[in-house]
Amino acid sequence: MSNAAFSLLHPTRAWQVLCAGIASLVLTTGLARFAYTPLLPLMQAQAGMGDTLGGWLATINYAGYMTGALIASAASDAGLRHRLYRAGLLAALVGTAGMGMTDNAVLWMLLRYVAGVGAVSGLLLASGMVLGWLVARGRRPELGLHFSGIGLGIVVSGVLVAVMTPALDWAQQWTVMGAVALALLVPAWLWMPAPQGWQAAATAPAPRRAPGLGMWLLIASYFFAGVGFVISATFIVAATEKQPAFAGLGFLVWVVVGLAAIPATFAWDRIARRVGEVPAMIAAFCLQGLSSLLPVFSAAPWAALGGAVLFGLTFIGVVSLMLTLVGKRNGANPSQAMARLTLSYGVAQIVAPALVGTVAEKTGSYDAGLWTAALAMFAGAAVLAAYAPAERRAAAG
């Protein structure tokens, strides 16, 4: 085997590992999980889907995500986590490509569930493996570059919908999404190294853990973040489509979200270096709450676009900073620690979309849901402020 071929099949360079992580996020979140957002209005218009079913499909997707997080939280063996990672990539591929092959609501629910399970591969398992790989090689333990894959995935899904809508119906667009997912599967599968050779180095010594009360406060704040995130992420396009200025153009707002999210991961890493991770997260929580309220206070195009920019800039910061903080505090098994924290995020995402979709169908407006998202983010910021002393004690040893 040539050196070039060996390098491709046995990644040892940082760019390959990081590309694997980014590709896994574009596949499992940008397509399997978030392509549903820009396609929702099209499915409502062409496939007869109502707001209630739209909300329930999102809820079931997040139920799958919570199932995956439960599985990941129980996986203490490094080799098992790598096998689960690859199984999740396949689940994300099936959950994406299958959506365009049926118009049966029950099968849609099953596919959204499978896609939700697969999302854990990129967001939790890959994140933990990339973080461990960086730590083992003495690199800065930051996941900003890795998490840029979420914003890139949002852009990819939004641009694909924008390009395909004039020529393809909703089912054909899901099929194309599946083909793109298959292409992303290759680097995500080949370039994520099995955590064997570097696992021992990554797990010794283990960073200090935050106090028990502090961890519970983090769990509570991340629950509120889940409520705020899922409402905006699920309904931002559908809510924008109800405004006359954006009729038929709601997917553009989703692209704006993704474009804002890509550089935001690096920006929040820098902010955290200067002021600390907890103060940075408090700022991100508050700004994300404001992003939900802008479209409520004004129906002008600037409010929708401004809310999309703020949402993209902040939700990714909340996820990246929270998971990085917990991963560093639990260096022996960062994926498992991230998964346990994410269970609270998943509970919120199961409950909120179905309720918001039902209320929107009855009232004809998403305003109540956007208010709920904003108040949840402000509550999460308050809980983080209560956690700050515990983090200072943990950092001081």
The answer to whether 231 and 353 are in contact (CB under 8 A) is yes
- The mean pLDDT value of the chain amounts to 82
Buried b (16+ CB within 10 A) or exposed e, 328-363: bbbbbbbbbbbbbbbbbbbbbbbebbbebbebbeee
**Mean of the pLDDT values across residues 320-333?**
73
Number of structural domains in the chain = 1
Is 2 among the domain residues? no
Distance in angstroms (rounded) separating the CA atoms of residues 120 and 336: 11
The CATH number for 23's domain is: 1.20.1250.20
Relative orientation angle of helices 367-396 and 212-241, to the nearest 10 degrees: 150
Q: How confident is the model at residue 89, as a pLDDT? A: 96
Residues whose CB falls within 8 Å of the CB of residue 210, separated by 6 or more in sequence, listed in order:
218, 329, 390, 391, 394
Distance (Å) of CA 384 to CA 31, 316, 347: 31, 17, 19
Q: How confident is the model at residue 71, as a pLDDT? A: 86
Is 91 among the domain residues? yes
Is 5 among the domain residues? no
The DSSP H or E segment spanning 357 is helix 334-363
* Higher-pLDDT residue of 15, 238: 15
Look up residue 50 and give its two tokens: 């109502």
- Does the structure show a pLDDT above 90 at 184? yes
**Mean of the pLDDT values across residues 164-171?**
93
Share of the chain above pLDDT 70, in %: 83
Q: Mind listing the pLDDT tens digit for each residue in 54-81?
A: 878 988 988 898 888 888 877 777 788 8
Q: What are phi and psi of 372, to 5 degrees?
A: -60, -45
Q: Mind listing the pLDDT tens digit for each residue in 43-53?
A: 988 988 887 88
Distance in angstroms (rounded) separating the CA atoms of residues 329 and 323: 10
Look up residue 72 and give its two tokens: 């990941």
Q: How confident is the model at residue 207, as a pLDDT? A: 46
* Higher-pLDDT residue of 299, 249: 299
- Does the structure show a pLDDT above 80 at 239? no
Q: How confident is the model at residue 206, as a pLDDT? A: 43
Residues whose CB falls within 8 Å of the CB of residue 266, separated by 6 or more in sequence, listed in order:
144, 145, 148
Q: Mind listing the pLDDT tens digit for each residue in 272-324?
A: 989 988 999 999 999 999 998 888 888 777 888 888 899 999 988 898 888 77
Residues whose CB falls within 8 Å of the CB of residue 194, separated by 6 or more in sequence, listed in order:
78, 79, 82
Nearest to 257 by CA among 232, 231, 224: 232
**Mean of the pLDDT values across residues 146-162?**
88
Residue type, 118: G
DSSP 169-187: -HHHHHHHHHHHHHHHHHH
> Domain containing 301: what range?
12-396
Q: How confident is the model at residue 334, as a pLDDT? A: 61
Is 4 among the domain residues? no
Look up residue 283 and give its two tokens: 């700022």
* Higher-pLDDT residue of 180, 246: 180
DSSP 276: -
Handedness of CA 250, 251, 255, 261 (dihedral sign): positive
